[in-house]
Amino acid sequence: MQKGWSCGEHCHLGYFVYKSFDETDFNNFGKVYNYNNRSAGYYKRNLTANAHPESKTWSTSMVHLYRSKGAEKTY
């Protein structure tokens, strides 16, 4: 008996998202992880003034899936 691993559009094994951060996000990370006057590297000074980033989660969709010709049964 073969199991079906896909059940259409309503069952998802996983998905990819891209998360972008602004200066407020980095400041909040810094309040948690930068302690004892030591930096854990969670800072981007003047990020908003210089780059105008958005704090946003970007959804993605797959357009094409490629696999090497010599990669049969390799996933």
How far CA 66 is from CA of 55, 61, 69, 71, 75, in Å, comes to 31, 14, 9, 11, 11
Instruction: Determine how β-strand 56-59 pairs with β-strand 17-20.
Output: antiparallel
| 3-class SS shares of the chain: helix, strand, coil, % to 5 | 25, 10, 65
pTM comes to 0.54
Paired tokens of 47: 């990020």
Per-position pLDDT tens, the chain of length 75: 555 555 666 666 677 889 998 888 888 888 888 777 777 666 677 777 888 889 999 988 878 877 777 766 665
- Tokens 């010599």 -> residue: 70
